[in-house]
A = this chain, B = another copy of it.
């Protein structure tokens, strides 16, 4: 069975963008640029870098550095086979999007806890949004000023930016809306709350696009 190793291909993509990278540079780049849609620990990047060499997708060279006893640093560059593999992968169908939201799980089970537990879960989704906003503000400004790393790729990176900005906005709005919704419970009896719930479902569904036809 062949596991797809998306992370390995993410690495391969970076290797193709510049002639040579150290493992730490790769780890930093993944952490800075991909963490919101492909979050991986640095140790994973180190392991995948070695694996890429084993697979023949990259070449490595161990360089000694200034200090005598300093740990040797490994520098990677992509191979012809790596470029070939990358093109094949880019042409293959992407895996589906995966969302993991523990806060939403807590909301689902909210009746088993307190209302304050629920409020905290809703709040934490708002915090997620805030973090995204604050990073996006900085990155976005760089693009506007033309000083971003990989500024040459704005035409495609803008799409990623737009996605993440949209995600942050939607998430932020949900959190605010939900906070107000829970606040509105005070003084409601269970039937009124149930009615409010049905009303919320109805409003959500009203925004669905018309079903597209299959042709």
Q: List chain A positions with a Cβ less than 8 A from chain B.
A: 6, 9-10, 13, 16-17, 33-34, 36-39, 86-87, 90-91, 93-114, 117-118, 120-122, 124-125, 127-128, 130-131, 133-134, 136-137, 140, 143-144, 146, 152-163, 165-174, 177-178, 181, 185, 190, 193-194, 196-198, 200-205, 207-209, 211-212
Contacts and interface: CB of A to CB of B under 8 A. Distances in A.
Contacts of A173: 166
B204 A161 contact: yes
A159 B143 contact: no
A157 B99 contact: no
B163 A104 contact: yes
Main secondary structure on A side of the interface with B:
helix
Q: How many copies of this chain sit in the oligomeric assembly?
A: 2
Given A97-B103, A101-B38, A162-B178, A197 B112 contact: no
